[in-house]
Amino acid sequence: MSCVTYELDSVVKDDKGADIERQPSGPKDGTVTEVIGSGVDNAGYHRRLSKRQIMMMTFGAGIGTGLWVGTGNALKYAGPAGTAVAYTIVAYVNGFIFLSVISCGITSFYVASRSLTALADLQLVHPFFGAKDKAGRPWISLLICGALGGGLCYLNCNKTAIQVYNWFSSLVGIAGFINWGAIFITQIRFRAALKAQGISPDTLPFKAPLAPWAHWLGLVIIIFILACEFYISVSPIGEPGTAVTFFANYLGMPLFLFDFVAYKLWFRTKLVKPSEVDFSEAKMFDEEDRLAREIMDDEALQKDDGFGLWQKAKNLVLG
């Protein structure tokens, strides 16, 4: 009867430390010996993991364990299917929030730089701010808005400056609602001018769906939000209202009213009646767009040799 023993084999190494011979160290009396190692110090394993990799593996194991333990109650009451559905919904919600935040940041960066450039083009600020590159990008305004906007974000890192950051955040929030309100008012007056001058909206290159009722609905929602914000600023929930609280939450509206009245008084402008709105410049732009589209269509016909099926399908999808 033979038995199996497990031992470490002895290794003969040369001067450079390389293996030159493997000699089983087990008994030679007929027992079967299975060699599983190559020495205590080097048992056939590689020590190539860095401290950073080991640390990340440890973090991953801890986080994974925490997630499984934390989902214990959810698994108990909702079951595997309910938990999977809940986590899927939460993941999508987090993704939407992340994309919304990124979108808001990009939109604010775009609007701020283009607004500063437009002010320079209208000669309301120094022409230096309207500098553009060959592609028409307002690089000066982009740099200024990026430096100011990105730098102000770091105010939130300081305990004493967080109040200033909150004031800026409130100012931007109110300004956003005011901008949307101005957009809706402009659209409503634009439609009124078309109607007063007998111009059909069907002649427009683009016609907003559900207009003008959607614009009125949007304006009502904006007014309701601003009214609620005003009420909360005057009478905060759970604390007495103060001037500091009011201006911290509603600073954008007084600034907007001051700028609007000051502009009207300084430049002595007046509201234009719908019947007196000048659409001649807009018609010129529409005509230029129409001619450009005709030229592009003619070039496409010449290249396509008969306007084949592929071109028709592409135009159907892409316009």
Decide: residue 190, CB within 10 A, 0-12 exposed, 13-18 middle, 19+ buried. Answer: buried
Give yes or no: residues 229 and 126 share one domain. no
Asked if 36 contacts 6 with a C-beta cutoff of 8 angstroms, the reply is: yes
State whether 282 and 250 are in the same domain: no
Residue 23 within any structural domain of the chain = no
Same domain membership, residue 282 and residue 254: no
Is 179 part of a structural domain of the chain?
Answer: yes
> Omega before 240 cis (within 30°)?
no
Residues 193 and 243 grouped into a single domain? yes
DSSP H or E segment with residue 152: helix 139-153
Contacts of 198 (CB under 8 A, 6+ apart): none
| Domain-located, residue 296 | yes
Q: Would you state the structure tokens that stand for residue 303, as one six-digit string? A: 């290249």
Contact 177, 215 (CB under 8 A): no
Which among 155, 175, 191 is the end of a domain?
Answer: 155
Tens of pLDDT, residues 117-165: 988 888 888 888 888 888 788 888 888 888 887 777 777 777 777 777 7
CB 48 within 8 A of CB 41: no
SS3 242: coil
Q: What domain range is 287 assigned to?
A: 278-318
| Residue 134 and residue 165 in one domain | no
Is residue 143 domain-shared with residue 236, that is, in the same domain?
no
159 or 15, greater pLDDT: 159
**Where is the domain boundary, 91, 120, 155?**
155
In terms of domains, do 86 and 107 share one?
yes
Residue 264's H or E segment, with its range, is: helix 252-267
CA angle 134, 137, 111 (to 5 degrees): 165
In a domain, 20, yes or no: no
232 is a domain residue: yes
Both 178 and 269 in one domain: the answer is: yes
**Tens digit of pLDDT for each residue in 203-259?**
777 788 888 899 999 999 999 999 998 998 888 887 887 888 888 788 889 889 999
Q: Which two tokens stand for residue 87?
A: 């986590």
Q: Are residues 176 and 223 in the same domain?
A: yes
pTM of the model: 0.54
For residue 37, name the pLDDT band (cuts at 50, 70, 90). Answer: very low
Q: Which residues is 12 bridged to in the sheet?
A: 21
Q: Quick one: 201 and 167 in the same domain?
A: yes
Domain end, chosen from 155, 170, 203, is at: 155
Q: How many domains does the chain have?
A: 3
For the cut 80, the answer to whether the pLDDT of residue 47 exceeds it is no
Residue 186 lies in a domain: yes
Evaluate if residue 6 carries a pLDDT over 70: no
Residue 35's pLDDT is 45
Q: Are residues 202 and 271 in the same domain?
A: yes
132 with 147, same domain? yes
- Residue 255 located in a structural domain: yes
